Amino acid sequence: MPHPRLPHWSVRVRILAAILAVTALAMIVTGGTAYLVQRDRVLQAVDAHLVAAVESARVVVTGSRSTDPDGTAAPAVAAGFTDARTALEAVLARVLPTPNQSSIGILDGVPTYVSALETDFHLEDDSAFLGRVVTETADGSVRLGTAESAIGNLRYIATPIIVPGAESRGLFVTAYDMDAELAVITTAFSTYAWVALVSLVGIGLVGWYVAGRLLRPIRHLTAAASRITATDLSQRIPVAGNDDVSALTATVNDMLGRLDASLTAQSQLLADVRHELKTPLTIVRGHLEVVDPTDADDVQSTRTLAIDELDRMSGLVDEIGLLADTQMSGALHRTQIDVADLTEQVFAKASALSNHDWRLAETATAVASVDAGRITQAWLQLADNAAKYSAAGSLIQLGSRMRTADRVEFWVLDEGPGIPEGMEDRIFERFGRVDSRRGIQGSGLGLSIVAAIAGAHGGTVTLQTSPSGSRFAIDVPTAQDEVPQ
C-alpha cells in the first residue's frame, strides 16, 4: 500500500533526484573548499605584503629592521631625519606599491605625499577613510585593518613616522583593493560554478535517459501485467538484455506460464467432470421419471440402478479428487527409496488384487529419490488395469529395471487384448476409454492419474501393446535435480 503522505514520485524521478542531489552536494563542497582555501591564501599574501611595506618604511627611516617578528608592534622612529616631512617623503619615494596597492603620506592629518608610481586607485580620494585611519593611529600605534570605503573593500596598514624632537607627525598608509585582489579567484569560481551547472544538467539528461532505459522492462512488465487477466494468461513480456531486470521478467513469464497451465488444466477438468457426471444423472432421472410407484418390482429395480449409478458417481468424484491433488498441488514427498524393496512391496499388494498368475519378473538394485506413496499408487493402478482387462488366471508380470544409469522403470505386462491402434494416446486422457470395453466398470481417469504422477516426478508413462498383451511402464529419473522446475 502506498504511503499516504509521500508524494507519488516515479522510481525514475527518485533515482534522478538522488543522483543530482549527491552530485550537486559534491560539487558545492569541492568548489566551496577550493574557493575558501584560495581566498585565505590571497588574504595572507596581502597581509604579508602590508607588513613588508611597513618593514621597508622602517628600514628607510631608521636604517634597520624591527626586532618584532610580525613588524606591526612599533611605529617607525626616524633617527637620521630632522623632521617628519622629509622622512615621509623618503618613505613614499622608496616604498613602491605593487598592483592593486596604493600608499599615501599624511602629515599632521593632511594627505601630503603620494607614491612615486602611478597606482590603480588613489587613497586621497577617500577623505573619510583617511580621517578614520588618522584617528585610529592617534595613540602612536601601528594599525592593520579592513575598511569598507568609497573606493572599495580595503585592507590597509598605517604606521606613524616619528622624528624625535620634531613637532609634526607623519603617517604612512598603504592599502590593497581587496575586490581587485580577489577578482582572479572570484572569476575562476564563477567559471567553475557555470561548468558545474552545465555538468549537472548533462548528468541529469544522461541519468534520465539511462534510468528510463533500465526501467523500461519494468514499465513493460506493469503494462503487460495490467493487460493480463485471469481469463487471458497467454501474454508474455518480451525479455531484453541479460541483467537482473530481464531475470525478473523471465521469472514473471515462468510464473505466468505455470498459472496459465494450471488454469487451463482446471477449466478443462471442470468441463470434463460436468460432461461425465451428466450421463449418470440423466440415467437416474430418466428411470425415476418413468418408475411406477405402485409396482414393487419396478421400484426395486430402479432403486438398484440408481444406487449403482450413484456408487459410480462417488467413485468418479474420489478419482477426480486424486487427479486434482496430483495435477494441481503437485507437491511430492520425496525420500530416498530402495527400488528393490518398493518392487517387492508393490508386487505383494498387486498379487492380492485378483485371481491371476502374478509373477515378479525382475528387480532393479538402486536408490531413487521419489514419492513412494505416489509411485505405489500409480504402479498399483497399472496392475489393477492389467487385472481388469485380461482374462482371469492369465499371466501378469511386474518388475523394475534401470532403463539408463539414472532412470528407473516400474512396469506391468499382461496378456490382455491390448490397446486398439489409434487409441494409445486417448487412453491417457481424462475419461479416455476404449469404447468396446464399456462392459468393464471404470471412470477413464486411472491412466491420467498415472501420467500425472509420472509427470510430477519429471518422467513419463510408456506403452507397448499388441493384441496379445500390453506393457505399461512408469519411467522416472532417480535424482530430483533432473526434474524440470
What is residue 148's three-state secondary structure? strand
Q: What angle do CA 381, 386, 391 make, to 5 degrees?
A: 145
First to last CA, the chain: 32
- For the bound state, the minimum distance from the C-beta of residue 442 to ligand ADP, rounded and expressed in Å, comes to 2
In Å, what is the CA distance from 185 to each residue of 38, 131, 146? 7, 32, 19
The DSSP letter of residue 237 is P
Binding to ligand ADP by CB under 6 A, coded x per residue (else -) over 66-95, reads ------------------------------
Q: Which of 207, 446, 458, 459 binds ligand ADP (CB under 6 A)?
A: 446
Closest CA to 306 of 294, 289, 320: 289
Q: Which of residues 391-420 bind ligand ADP (CB under 6 A)?
A: 414, 416-417, 419
Identified binder of ligand ADP from the candidate list 470, 473, 477, 478, rule CB under 6 A: 470
Q: Which of residues 341-370 bind ligand ADP (CB under 6 A)?
A: none
Taking the least distance from each CB to ligand ADP, the nearer of 208 and 389 is 389
Measured from the CB atom, is 74 or 380 closer to ligand ADP?
A: 380
Phi, psi of 55 (to 5 degrees): -65, -45
- Comparison of 132 and 437: residue with beta carbon closer to ligand ADP: 437
Least separation in angstroms between residue 485's CB and ligand ADP is 28
Nearest residue (CB) to ligand ADP, 91 versus 456: 456
Among 221, 389, 403, 460, binds ligand ADP (CB under 6 A): 389
How many Å separate Cα 412 from the centre of its chain? 53
Whole-angstrom distance, CA of residue 152 vs CA of residue 340: 105
CA 222 from centre of chain: 16
Q: Which x/- pattern, by CB under 6 A, does the window 278-317 give for ligand ADP?
A: ----------------------------------------
CB of 463 to ligand ADP, least distance (A): 9
* Least distance between ligand ADP and beta carbon 236 (Å): 33
Scored b (16 or more CB within 10 A) or e, 214-246 reads bbebeebbeebeeebeeeebeebbebeeeeebe
Q: Does 386 bind ligand ADP (CB under 6 A)?
A: yes
3-state secondary structure of 162: strand
Q: How far apart, in whole angstroms, are the C-alpha atoms of residue 88 and residue 172?
A: 7
Give the span between the Cα atoms of 293 and 173, in whole angstroms.
138
Give the x/- contact pattern for ligand ADP in 415-444, rule: CB under 6 A. -xx-x-------x----xxx--x----xxx
Residue number with CB closer to ligand ADP (350 or 427): 427
User: Given the complex with ligand ADP, which of 143 and 430 has the nearer CB atom?
Assistant: 430
Secondary structure E strands in 181-243: none
Looking only at residues 218 through 277 of this chain, which bind ligand ADP when binding is defined by CB under 6 A? none
Farthest CA pair distance, the chain: 163
Which CB, 181 or 414, lies closer to ligand ADP? Answer: 414
Could you list the residues that contact ligand ADP (CB under 6 A)? Answer: 385-386, 389, 414, 416-417, 419, 427, 432-434, 437, 442-447, 470
